[in-house]
Amino acid sequence: MVEMENYFWIALGGALGTMGRYWCSGFIARLVGETFPWGTLTINVLGSFVIGLFAALTGPDGRFFIGTTARQFFMVGICGGYTTFSSFSLQTLNLANDGEWLPAVANISLSVLLCLLAVSLGYTIANSLNSMNWM
């Protein structure tokens, strides 16, 4: 029964993450246009930052330890539903198929570099918060 409860929470988190991705992608597209997949890039960078921050803050050595189900709800559900690696892959393939090699390579390079930097930054900030003496 516990296993089914975990699936419920992960599914709920996934639905929330997916709705957030849809909103954010549309917002970015309206803001800067759709000639480059800025929405997907922004979502992947932000999602990488948030999962790094959350993982370090809520893990066994974190400042705010939470249980496995809550971590799965957020990290597997919300973050998994929010980030868009499959969209990134398809958009990059479409750019390449359209002969847009420079934007395709830029999308790959920026996505990998910025997402790794974002997850590292989130993790580092969380570890700093974990080591602070709070009243």
pLDDT tens, residue by residue, 54-70: 999 999 889 999 999 99
pLDDT band at residue 90 under the 50/70/90 scheme:
confident
Q: Work out the end-to-end distance of the chain between its first and last CA atoms, rounded to an integer number of angstroms.
A: 40
Residues in the chain: 135
The CA distance from 26 to 23, in Å, is 5
Residue with tokens 């499959």: 86
Q: Report whether 44 contacts 111 (CB < 8 A).
A: yes
Is residue 121 within 8 Å of residue 56, measured between CB atoms? no
The lowest-confidence range among 8-12, 124-128, 131-135 is: 131-135
Token output for 3: 């296993």
Average pLDDT, the chain: 93
Query: How far is the CA of 129 from the CAs of 40, 70, 118, 125, 132, in angstroms?
Result: 29, 20, 16, 6, 5
Q: Mean pLDDT throughout 81-91?
A: 87
As a whole number of angstroms, the distance between CA 67 and CA 49 comes to: 21
Mean pLDDT for the stretch of residues 95-107: 96
Q: Which band of pLDDT confidence, cut at 50, 70 and 90, is reported for residue 135?
A: low
Question: Can you tell me whether residue 83 is helix, strand or coil?
Answer: coil
What confidence category does residue 93 fall into, taking pLDDT thresholds of 50, 70 and 90? very high
CA distance 38 to 50: 18
In this structure, of 1-10, 34-43, 74-83, the range with the lowest mean pLDDT score is 1-10
The pLDDT of residue 133 is 85
Q: Quick check: helix, strand or coil at residue 66?
A: coil
Q: With a cut of 70, say whether residue 89 has pLDDT above it.
A: yes
